[in-house]
């Protein structure tokens, strides 16, 4: 009797995709009654249990966006330089199915010069002018055609898109160098803002940077990690006065307990892009406490090195977080 040597080495029968055919049959269950939701972590829900591999041949921004639209999640691979990897994550976060969840708005009193600085620092092409709950100016203009950049955004009847990119430098030194344009009566509070930024940086509460626009506009940006958004931004305005702008959406995610305290110290409600009337030492101390609170939370964002899909799956968990 002939002995089959190969049969002794076979442990089990393996099937490929072509070996299996699933024949459809009648079912009383309709798709709307089927739930395939699952959780990736305690805070991240997925509508479909599909997760793409963090391989350079599998998942970059396009794959993560596509999976997010279907309810899954993609993990950006690490075979990239840190800056390139962050750029891929940013593409996914900005896509959001065409919906801006945390819009940055400006008040009618903000000058066109300061609007340009804000646009360049955030790399946005358009900003809605909002007064209370009313959108005052939804149009856009060409800033190179503006004769008076110190006009308010409301008077200009539009918000200009950014033209050109300024420079960003770490720390507060570039912010301090701008004090030569600050009137003497405002230099004390400007210096207090610089010291505030240094305190935040030395405590490791945020990544503090200074943005300088092509027109000389200066913005102090203490950005929380890992999402790189800030509770507040401090501007040296076109007239040389320091001005504080706060972002409610970030407060709600990262420092909700501090909202009322900051509003009381600043004398104004915390809104999305709200300008605080007057900067004081008490307000800066309260904001430092807010950044301390924010440093203990991570909001609804995924880890910067493994962030992927911010579409249906994470949007749902963010609203419930």
pLDDT along the chain (321 residues), means of 10: 63 79 85 86 88 91 89 91 87 68 70 74 70 57 46 41 63 88 87 93 90 79 83 82 86 90 87 80 92 77 34 33 32
pLDDT for the residue 275: 79
Bridge-based pairing of strands 218-223 and 232-236 is antiparallel
CB 43 within 8 Å of CB 300 = yes
CB 113 within 8 Å of CB 97 = no
Pick from 321, 317, 250, 320: nearest CA to 290 = 250
Mapped to the 3 state alphabet, what secondary structure does the chain carry?
CCCCHHHHHCCCCCCCHHHCCCCCCCCCCCHHHCCCCEECCCCCEECCCCEECCCCCCCCHHHHHHHHHHCCEEECCCCCCHHHHHHHHHHHHHHHHHCCCCCCCECCCCEHHHHHHHHHHHCCCCCCEEECCEEEECCECCHHHCCCCCCECCCCCCECCCCCCCEEEECCHHHHHHHHHCCHHHHHHHHHHHHHHHHHHHCCCCEEEEEECCCCCEEEEEEECCCCECCEEEEECCCCCEEEEEEHHHHHHHCHHHHHHHHHHHCCCCCEEEEECCCCHHHHHHHHHHHHHHHCCCCCCCCCCCCECCCHHHHHHHHHC
Residues in the chain: 321
pLDDT for the residue 185: 87
pLDDT for the residue 285: 93
CB 272 within 8 Å of CB 248 = yes
pLDDT for the residue 196: 94
Task: Provide φ and ψ at 38, rounded to 5°.
Answer: -150, 180
Q: Which residues pair with 156 in a beta bridge?
A: none
Quick one: tokens of 131?
A: 């007064």
Burial of 69 (0-12, 13-18, 19+ CB in 10 A): middle
Cβ atoms within 10 A of the Cβ of 285, count?
Answer: 14
pLDDT for the residue 7: 63
Considering the entire predicted model, what is its pTM?
Answer: 0.46
pLDDT for the residue 284: 93
pLDDT for the residue 144: 45
pLDDT for the residue 306: 34
pLDDT for the residue 160: 33
């Amino acid at each position: 009797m002939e002995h089959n040597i190969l049969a002794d080495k076979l442990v089990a029968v393996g099937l490929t995709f072509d070996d299996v055919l699933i024949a459809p049959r009648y079912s009383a269950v309709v798709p709307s009654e089927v739930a395939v939701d699952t959780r990736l972590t305690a805070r991240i829900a997925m509508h479909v249990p599909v997760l793409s591999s963090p391989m350079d041949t599998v998942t970059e921004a396009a794959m993560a966006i596509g999976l997010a639209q279907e309810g899954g999640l993609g993990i950006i691979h690490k075979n990239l330089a840190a800056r390139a990897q962050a750029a891929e994550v940013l593409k996914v976060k900005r896509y959001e199915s065409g919906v801006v969840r945390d819009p940055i708005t400006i008040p009618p009193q903000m000058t066109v010069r300061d609007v340009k600085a804000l646009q360049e620092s955030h790399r946005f092409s358009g900003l809605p002018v909002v007064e209370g709950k009313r959108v005052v100016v939804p149009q856009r203009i060409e800033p190179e055609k503006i004769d008076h950049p110190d006009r308010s955004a409301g008077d200009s009847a539009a918000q200009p898109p950014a033209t050109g990119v300024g420079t960003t430098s770490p720390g507060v030194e570039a912010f301090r160098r701008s004090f030569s344009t600050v009137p003497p009566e405002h230099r004390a509070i400007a210096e207090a803002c610089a010291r505030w930024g240094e305190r935040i940086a030395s405590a490791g509460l945020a990544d503090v940077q200074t943005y300088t626009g092509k027109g000389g506009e200066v913005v102090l940006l203490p950005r929380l990690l890992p999402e790189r958004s800030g509770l507040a931004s401090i501007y040296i305005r076109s007239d040389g006065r320091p001005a504080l702008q706060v972002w409610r959406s970030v407060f709600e995610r990262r420092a909700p307990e501090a909202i009322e305290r900051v509003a009381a110290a600043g004398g104004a409600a915390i809104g999305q892009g709200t300008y605080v009337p007057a900067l004081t030492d008490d307000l800066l101390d309260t904001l430092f406490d807010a950044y301390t609170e924010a440093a203990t939370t991570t909001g609804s964002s995924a880890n910067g090195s493994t962030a992927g899909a911010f579409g249906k799956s994470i949007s749902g968990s963010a609203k419930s977080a």
